[in-house]
């Protein structure tokens, strides 16, 4: 299995001049549709979500799947990405009952 075929977590980094919440929401709808198309063809890829950093005109989208499928979904959705980076997602911890 090549590195681009390995299933994992990937961040799609997008420098996007003029990006807005509305533009990102529309792109995420297109990305969801692209992911659905890929999944129907047997390619297991999921869009987890995105982060918009308005001050930097930058968007980060998190996907699970292979790098090839993540690139395909991003391209099909018209997301203007520069890089696709393998990543590790670590969720914030929940407070224990005695800490509340």
Beta bridge partners of 53: 58
Query: Which long-range contacts link 35-38 to residues 24+ away (Cβ below 8 Å)?
Result: 35/63, 35/73, 37/76, 38/69, 38/72, 38/73, 38/76
Query: Is 58 part of a structural domain of the chain?
Result: yes
pLDDT in tens, the chain (100 residues): 444 566 899 999 999 999 999 999 999 999 999 999 999 999 999 999 999 999 999 999 999 999 999 999 999 999 989 999 999 888 777 666 665 5
Query: Is 99 part of a structural domain of the chain?
Result: no
Return d(Cα 67, Cα 54) in angstroms, integer. 26
pLDDT at 99: 55
Query: Is 95 part of a structural domain of the chain?
Result: no
pLDDT at 68: 95
- CATH label of the domain that carries residue 20: 3.30.70.3090
Query: Is 26 part of a structural domain of the chain?
Result: yes
pLDDT tens per residue, range 20-44: 999 999 999 999 999 999 999 999 9
């Amino acid at each position: 299995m090549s590195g681009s075929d390995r299933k994992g977590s990937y961040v799609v980094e997008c420098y996007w001049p003029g990006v807005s919440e509305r533009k990102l929401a529309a792109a995420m709808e297109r990305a969801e549709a692209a992911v659905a198309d890929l999944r129907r063809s047997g390619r297991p890829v999921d869009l987890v979500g995105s982060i918009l950093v308005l001050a930097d005109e930058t968007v980060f989208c998190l996907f699970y799947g292979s790098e090839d499928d993540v690139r395909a979904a991003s391209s099909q959705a018209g997301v203007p990405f520069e890089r696709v980076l393998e990543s590790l997602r670590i969720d914030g911890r929940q407070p224990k009952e005695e800490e509340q």
